[in-house]
Amino acid sequence: MAVDVDALVDRRRLRRKVTFWRVATFLVIAIALVAGISYVSGVSDLSKRSAHVARIPIEGVIIEDRKTLKMIEKIAKSEAVKGVVISINSPGGSTTGGEALYEALRELAEKKPVVAEIRTVGTSAGYMVALSADHIVARYNTITGSIGVLFQHGNIEKLLDTVGVKMEAVKSAPLKAEPDFYSPTTPETRAMLDSMVQDSYNWFVGLVAERRDLDAAKAKELADGRVLTGHLALDEKLIDAIGGEDKAIDWLESEKGVKADLPVVTWTTKENIEELPFSARISREFGKGVGSTLLNPINDAKGLIPRGLTLDGLVSVWQASDAADNKP
Protein backbone atom coordinates (compact mmCIF):
# COMPACT_ATOMS: atom_id res chain seq x y z
CA MET A 1 0.00 0.00 0.00
CA ALA A 2 1.47 3.37 -1.06
CA VAL A 3 2.16 5.98 1.61
CA ASP A 4 0.62 9.39 1.03
CA VAL A 5 3.61 11.62 1.88
CA ASP A 6 1.59 14.85 1.78
CA ALA A 7 -1.02 13.47 4.21
CA LEU A 8 1.73 12.34 6.58
CA VAL A 9 3.35 15.79 6.55
CA ASP A 10 -0.01 17.45 7.18
CA ARG A 11 -0.63 15.20 10.17
CA ARG A 12 2.73 16.09 11.68
CA ARG A 13 2.08 19.79 11.16
CA LEU A 14 -1.34 19.45 12.80
CA ARG A 15 0.15 17.65 15.79
CA ARG A 16 2.72 20.39 16.22
CA LYS A 17 0.01 23.08 16.14
CA VAL A 18 -2.14 21.22 18.69
CA THR A 19 0.85 20.76 20.98
CA PHE A 20 1.78 24.44 20.63
CA TRP A 21 -1.71 25.63 21.57
CA ARG A 22 -1.93 23.21 24.49
CA VAL A 23 1.35 24.51 25.90
CA ALA A 24 0.32 28.13 25.23
CA THR A 25 -3.03 27.62 26.97
CA PHE A 26 -1.33 26.05 30.00
CA LEU A 27 1.13 28.97 30.21
CA VAL A 28 -1.67 31.55 29.97
CA ILE A 29 -3.60 29.85 32.79
CA ALA A 30 -0.47 29.60 34.92
CA ILE A 31 0.37 33.28 34.37
CA ALA A 32 -3.22 34.29 35.19
CA LEU A 33 -3.11 32.29 38.42
CA VAL A 34 0.18 33.85 39.50
CA ALA A 35 -0.98 37.34 38.53
CA GLY A 36 -4.28 36.89 40.35
CA ILE A 37 -2.59 35.73 43.53
CA SER A 38 -0.04 38.56 43.36
CA TYR A 39 -2.78 41.13 42.77
CA VAL A 40 -4.86 39.87 45.70
CA SER A 41 -1.83 39.92 47.98
CA GLY A 42 -1.04 43.45 46.88
CA VAL A 43 -4.58 44.71 47.48
CA SER A 44 -4.70 43.03 50.89
CA ASP A 45 -1.33 44.45 51.91
CA LEU A 46 -2.25 47.93 50.65
CA SER A 47 -5.43 48.11 52.76
CA LYS A 48 -3.45 47.13 55.84
CA ARG A 49 -0.57 49.52 55.21
CA SER A 50 -2.66 52.69 55.43
CA ALA A 51 -4.17 53.96 58.69
CA HIS A 52 -7.21 51.92 59.78
CA VAL A 53 -9.12 50.29 62.61
CA ALA A 54 -8.51 46.54 62.75
CA ARG A 55 -11.47 44.21 63.18
CA ILE A 56 -10.65 40.82 64.75
CA PRO A 57 -13.52 38.31 64.30
CA ILE A 58 -13.84 35.72 67.08
CA GLU A 59 -16.51 33.33 65.81
CA GLY A 60 -17.71 29.81 66.51
CA VAL A 61 -16.18 27.40 69.00
CA ILE A 62 -13.00 28.80 70.55
CA ILE A 63 -9.90 26.62 70.52
CA GLU A 64 -6.23 27.47 70.94
CA ASP A 65 -5.34 28.69 67.45
CA ARG A 66 -1.68 29.57 66.86
CA LYS A 67 -2.43 31.34 63.58
CA THR A 68 -4.82 33.73 65.31
CA LEU A 69 -2.33 34.40 68.10
CA LYS A 70 0.38 35.17 65.52
CA MET A 71 -2.03 37.48 63.69
CA ILE A 72 -2.71 39.40 66.93
CA GLU A 73 1.05 39.83 67.41
CA LYS A 74 1.29 41.21 63.88
CA ILE A 75 -1.52 43.69 64.56
CA ALA A 76 0.29 44.88 67.70
CA LYS A 77 3.41 45.63 65.63
CA SER A 78 1.57 47.38 62.79
CA GLU A 79 1.92 51.17 62.85
CA ALA A 80 -1.07 51.45 60.50
CA VAL A 81 -3.47 50.01 63.10
CA LYS A 82 -4.85 52.90 65.17
CA GLY A 83 -7.49 50.95 67.09
CA VAL A 84 -8.95 47.46 67.38
CA VAL A 85 -12.50 46.10 67.49
CA ILE A 86 -12.85 42.51 68.74
CA SER A 87 -16.01 41.30 66.99
CA ILE A 88 -17.35 38.34 69.02
CA ASN A 89 -20.00 35.84 68.00
CA SER A 90 -19.15 32.68 69.96
CA PRO A 91 -20.79 30.40 72.55
CA GLY A 92 -17.34 29.70 74.04
CA GLY A 93 -15.05 26.72 73.79
CA SER A 94 -11.99 25.35 75.54
CA THR A 95 -10.93 27.24 78.65
CA THR A 96 -7.28 27.23 77.53
CA GLY A 97 -8.32 28.56 74.12
CA GLY A 98 -10.14 31.47 75.79
CA GLU A 99 -7.21 32.05 78.14
CA ALA A 100 -4.69 32.18 75.28
CA LEU A 101 -6.82 34.68 73.35
CA TYR A 102 -7.40 36.78 76.47
CA GLU A 103 -3.67 37.03 77.20
CA ALA A 104 -2.76 37.85 73.58
CA LEU A 105 -5.44 40.54 73.39
CA ARG A 106 -4.38 42.06 76.73
CA GLU A 107 -0.84 42.38 75.36
CA LEU A 108 -2.32 44.02 72.27
CA ALA A 109 -4.34 46.43 74.46
CA GLU A 110 -1.08 47.67 75.99
CA LYS A 111 -0.11 49.00 72.55
CA LYS A 112 -3.43 49.79 70.86
CA PRO A 113 -6.86 50.93 72.11
CA VAL A 114 -9.11 47.84 72.12
CA VAL A 115 -12.90 47.63 72.32
CA ALA A 116 -15.09 44.49 72.21
CA GLU A 117 -18.37 44.18 70.36
CA ILE A 118 -20.50 41.15 71.28
CA ARG A 119 -22.91 40.35 68.48
CA THR A 120 -25.52 37.55 68.63
CA VAL A 121 -23.81 35.55 71.36
CA GLY A 122 -20.71 35.94 73.50
CA THR A 123 -20.86 33.51 76.39
CA SER A 124 -18.43 31.51 78.56
CA ALA A 125 -15.00 31.63 76.87
CA GLY A 126 -16.55 34.07 74.39
CA TYR A 127 -17.25 36.47 77.26
CA MET A 128 -13.77 35.74 78.64
CA VAL A 129 -12.34 37.09 75.38
CA ALA A 130 -14.50 40.23 75.70
CA LEU A 131 -12.94 40.87 79.12
CA SER A 132 -9.62 41.57 77.40
CA ALA A 133 -11.02 44.84 76.01
CA ASP A 134 -11.16 48.10 77.92
CA HIS A 135 -14.75 48.70 76.82
CA ILE A 136 -17.51 46.20 75.92
CA VAL A 137 -20.64 46.88 73.86
CA ALA A 138 -23.45 44.46 73.03
CA ARG A 139 -26.90 44.56 71.46
CA TYR A 140 -29.96 44.83 73.70
CA ASN A 141 -30.86 41.20 72.92
CA THR A 142 -27.33 39.79 72.71
CA ILE A 143 -26.89 36.57 74.71
CA THR A 144 -23.92 36.80 77.07
CA GLY A 145 -22.70 35.65 80.47
CA SER A 146 -22.68 31.90 81.24
CA ILE A 147 -19.58 32.43 83.36
CA GLY A 148 -18.35 29.04 84.51
CA VAL A 149 -16.38 25.90 83.71
CA LEU A 150 -17.46 22.40 82.71
CA PHE A 151 -15.75 19.01 82.50
CA GLN A 152 -17.90 16.41 80.79
CA HIS A 153 -17.25 12.82 79.78
CA GLY A 154 -19.31 9.96 78.45
CA ASN A 155 -19.83 6.46 79.79
CA ILE A 156 -20.72 3.57 77.48
CA GLU A 157 -20.54 0.77 80.05
CA LYS A 158 -24.09 -0.44 79.33
CA LEU A 159 -23.49 -0.40 75.59
CA LEU A 160 -20.36 -2.52 76.01
CA ASP A 161 -22.31 -4.97 78.20
CA THR A 162 -24.97 -5.21 75.48
CA VAL A 163 -22.47 -6.12 72.76
CA GLY A 164 -20.52 -8.41 75.07
CA VAL A 165 -17.34 -6.37 75.50
CA LYS A 166 -15.55 -6.15 78.85
CA MET A 167 -12.80 -3.60 79.40
CA GLU A 168 -9.98 -4.26 81.87
CA ALA A 169 -6.95 -2.17 82.89
CA VAL A 170 -3.83 -2.45 85.02
CA LYS A 171 -2.93 0.92 86.55
CA SER A 172 0.04 2.31 88.45
CA ALA A 173 -2.39 4.21 90.71
CA PRO A 174 -6.19 4.37 91.15
CA LEU A 175 -6.54 7.82 89.55
CA LYS A 176 -4.42 7.06 86.49
CA ALA A 177 -6.46 7.48 83.25
CA GLU A 178 -9.56 8.51 85.19
CA PRO A 179 -12.29 9.09 84.32
CA ASP A 180 -12.64 6.35 81.73
CA PHE A 181 -15.61 5.63 79.49
CA TYR A 182 -16.33 2.05 80.56
CA SER A 183 -16.76 2.08 84.36
CA PRO A 184 -18.62 4.15 86.98
CA THR A 185 -16.92 7.31 88.23
CA THR A 186 -15.49 6.72 91.70
CA PRO A 187 -15.86 9.29 94.52
CA GLU A 188 -12.09 9.87 94.36
CA THR A 189 -12.24 10.58 90.64
CA ARG A 190 -15.20 12.91 91.08
CA ALA A 191 -13.32 14.78 93.81
CA MET A 192 -10.29 15.15 91.52
CA LEU A 193 -12.40 16.53 88.69
CA ASP A 194 -14.28 18.86 91.02
CA SER A 195 -10.95 20.24 92.27
CA MET A 196 -9.86 20.98 88.68
CA VAL A 197 -13.16 22.61 87.75
CA GLN A 198 -13.26 24.75 90.90
CA ASP A 199 -9.68 25.91 90.42
CA SER A 200 -10.39 26.99 86.83
CA TYR A 201 -13.72 28.50 87.87
CA ASN A 202 -12.14 30.60 90.63
CA TRP A 203 -9.59 31.90 88.13
CA PHE A 204 -12.40 32.88 85.73
CA VAL A 205 -14.39 34.60 88.49
CA GLY A 206 -11.29 36.49 89.58
CA LEU A 207 -10.84 37.67 86.00
CA VAL A 208 -14.43 38.97 85.90
CA ALA A 209 -14.01 40.77 89.23
CA GLU A 210 -10.73 42.38 88.16
CA ARG A 211 -11.69 43.43 84.64
CA ARG A 212 -15.24 44.58 85.46
CA ASP A 213 -14.28 46.25 88.76
CA LEU A 214 -16.68 44.11 90.82
CA ASP A 215 -16.19 42.84 94.35
CA ALA A 216 -15.52 39.11 94.65
CA ALA A 217 -18.95 38.31 96.11
CA LYS A 218 -20.80 40.09 93.28
CA ALA A 219 -18.65 38.46 90.62
CA LYS A 220 -19.31 35.01 92.10
CA GLU A 221 -23.04 35.73 92.28
CA LEU A 222 -23.07 36.49 88.54
CA ALA A 223 -20.88 33.45 87.80
CA ASP A 224 -23.56 30.85 88.49
CA GLY A 225 -23.76 29.85 84.81
CA ARG A 226 -26.71 32.12 83.98
CA VAL A 227 -27.04 33.73 80.56
CA LEU A 228 -28.19 37.33 80.25
CA THR A 229 -29.39 39.64 77.51
CA GLY A 230 -27.18 42.58 76.70
CA HIS A 231 -29.63 44.84 78.54
CA LEU A 232 -29.45 42.79 81.74
CA ALA A 233 -25.67 42.48 81.40
CA LEU A 234 -25.48 46.28 81.29
CA ASP A 235 -27.48 46.50 84.52
CA GLU A 236 -25.05 44.05 86.15
CA LYS A 237 -22.00 45.95 84.81
CA LEU A 238 -20.81 43.01 82.72
CA ILE A 239 -20.80 45.31 79.67
CA ASP A 240 -20.47 49.07 79.24
CA ALA A 241 -22.95 50.09 76.53
CA ILE A 242 -25.73 48.92 74.23
CA GLY A 243 -25.00 49.01 70.52
CA GLY A 244 -23.08 47.51 67.64
CA GLU A 245 -19.79 48.16 65.89
CA ASP A 246 -20.60 51.81 65.27
CA LYS A 247 -20.99 52.32 69.02
CA ALA A 248 -17.65 50.58 69.59
CA ILE A 249 -15.92 52.82 67.06
CA ASP A 250 -17.54 55.93 68.59
CA TRP A 251 -15.84 54.98 71.87
CA LEU A 252 -12.46 54.61 70.14
CA GLU A 253 -12.88 58.09 68.65
CA SER A 254 -14.27 59.89 71.69
CA GLU A 255 -12.27 58.20 74.47
CA LYS A 256 -9.06 57.07 72.79
CA GLY A 257 -8.51 59.80 70.21
CA VAL A 258 -8.72 57.52 67.19
CA LYS A 259 -9.21 59.64 64.09
CA ALA A 260 -12.80 59.71 62.83
CA ASP A 261 -13.82 57.99 59.59
CA LEU A 262 -10.87 55.60 59.43
CA PRO A 263 -11.70 52.48 57.40
CA VAL A 264 -12.36 49.28 59.34
CA VAL A 265 -10.27 46.41 57.93
CA THR A 266 -10.93 42.80 58.88
CA TRP A 267 -7.86 40.86 59.92
CA THR A 268 -8.40 37.13 59.71
CA THR A 269 -6.51 33.91 59.11
CA LYS A 270 -9.32 32.82 56.77
CA GLU A 271 -9.66 34.04 53.19
CA ASN A 272 -12.79 36.07 52.44
CA ILE A 273 -13.74 35.19 48.85
CA GLU A 274 -16.24 38.05 48.60
CA GLU A 275 -13.39 40.55 48.88
CA LEU A 276 -11.36 38.96 46.06
CA PRO A 277 -11.34 40.25 42.46
CA PHE A 278 -13.21 38.16 39.90
CA SER A 279 -10.03 36.71 38.36
CA ALA A 280 -8.78 35.66 41.78
CA ARG A 281 -12.10 33.97 42.60
CA ILE A 282 -11.81 31.93 39.38
CA SER A 283 -8.26 30.91 40.31
CA ARG A 284 -9.30 30.00 43.84
CA GLU A 285 -12.27 27.89 42.75
CA PHE A 286 -10.15 26.13 40.12
CA GLY A 287 -7.67 25.13 42.83
CA LYS A 288 -10.46 24.04 45.15
CA GLY A 289 -11.94 21.86 42.43
CA VAL A 290 -8.70 20.00 41.92
CA GLY A 291 -8.05 19.69 45.64
CA SER A 292 -11.54 18.49 46.52
CA THR A 293 -11.20 15.55 44.15
CA LEU A 294 -8.31 14.29 46.27
CA LEU A 295 -9.40 15.43 49.73
CA ASN A 296 -13.17 14.81 49.81
CA PRO A 297 -12.83 11.17 50.94
CA ILE A 298 -10.68 12.32 53.89
CA ASN A 299 -13.08 15.14 54.82
CA ASP A 300 -16.03 12.75 54.65
CA ALA A 301 -14.28 10.48 57.12
CA LYS A 302 -13.65 13.39 59.48
CA GLY A 303 -17.35 14.20 59.34
CA LEU A 304 -18.10 10.96 61.17
CA ILE A 305 -16.58 12.48 64.34
CA PRO A 306 -18.91 14.89 66.17
CA ARG A 307 -17.44 18.38 66.59
CA GLY A 308 -17.96 18.32 70.35
CA LEU A 309 -15.56 15.40 70.74
CA THR A 310 -12.67 17.63 69.67
CA LEU A 311 -13.08 19.80 72.77
CA ASP A 312 -10.91 17.98 75.28
CA GLY A 313 -10.29 18.97 78.89
CA LEU A 314 -11.89 21.87 80.74
CA VAL A 315 -14.56 23.61 78.70
CA SER A 316 -16.15 27.00 79.09
CA VAL A 317 -18.95 26.92 76.56
CA TRP A 318 -22.67 27.57 76.62
CA GLN A 319 -24.58 24.37 75.69
CA ALA A 320 -21.51 22.51 74.43
CA SER A 321 -23.64 19.41 73.80
CA ASP A 322 -26.71 17.54 75.04
CA ALA A 323 -24.50 15.91 77.64
CA ALA A 324 -24.24 19.23 79.43
CA ASP A 325 -27.94 19.04 80.31
CA ASN A 326 -27.39 15.72 82.07
CA LYS A 327 -24.16 16.46 83.92
CA PRO A 328 -24.07 15.06 87.48
Query: In terms of Cα–Cα distance, which of 242, 55, 211, 248 is closest to 142?
Result: 242
pLDDT of 48 over the 90 cut: no
Residue 124: active-site member: yes
Taking the model in full, what pTM does it have? 0.72
Tell me if 134 is assigned to some domain.
Answer: yes
Q: Are the C-beta atoms of residues 58 and 87 closer than 8 Å to each other? A: yes
The whole-number pLDDT of residue 287 equals 47
Tell me if 2 is assigned to some domain.
Answer: no
Neighbours of 33 (CB within 10 A): 17
Q: What is the pLDDT of residues 280-293, one digit of tens each?
A: 444 444 444 434 44
The whole-number pLDDT of residue 247 equals 97
Max CA separation in the chain (angstroms): 105
Tell me if 11 is assigned to some domain.
Answer: no
Helix (H) or strand (E) run with residue 204 in it: helix 187-211
CATH number for the domain that contains residue 112: 3.90.226.10
**Range of lowest pLDDT (120-124, 167-171, 207-211, 247-251):** 167-171
Q: Are the C-beta atoms of residues 241 and 234 closer than 8 Å to each other? A: yes
Tell me if 174 is assigned to some domain.
Answer: yes
pLDDT of 79 over the 90 cut: yes
Q: Which domain holds residue 236?
A: 50-284+311-326
pLDDT of 24 over the 70 cut: no
Query: In terms of Cα–Cα distance, which of 61, 229, 199 is closest to 139?
Result: 229
Of 74, 176, 259, 288, which is the active-site residue? 176
Tell me if 160 is assigned to some domain.
Answer: yes
Give me the percent of the chain exceeding a pLDDT of 70.
Answer: 69
Tell me if 62 is assigned to some domain.
Answer: yes
Of 90, 124, 146, 283, which is the active-site residue? 124
Residue 195: active-site member: no
**Range of lowest pLDDT (44-58, 232-246, 303-317):** 303-317
Of the pLDDT bands very low, low, confident and very high (cuts 50, 70, 90), residue 161 is confident
Tell me if 1 is assigned to some domain.
Answer: no
Give me the percent of the chain exceeding a pLDDT of 90.
Answer: 53
Q: What is the total count of domains within the chain? A: 1
**Range of lowest pLDDT (4-13, 19-28, 166-175):** 4-13
Tell me if 97 is assigned to some domain.
Answer: yes
The whole-number pLDDT of residue 69 equals 96
Return the DSSP state at 266: E
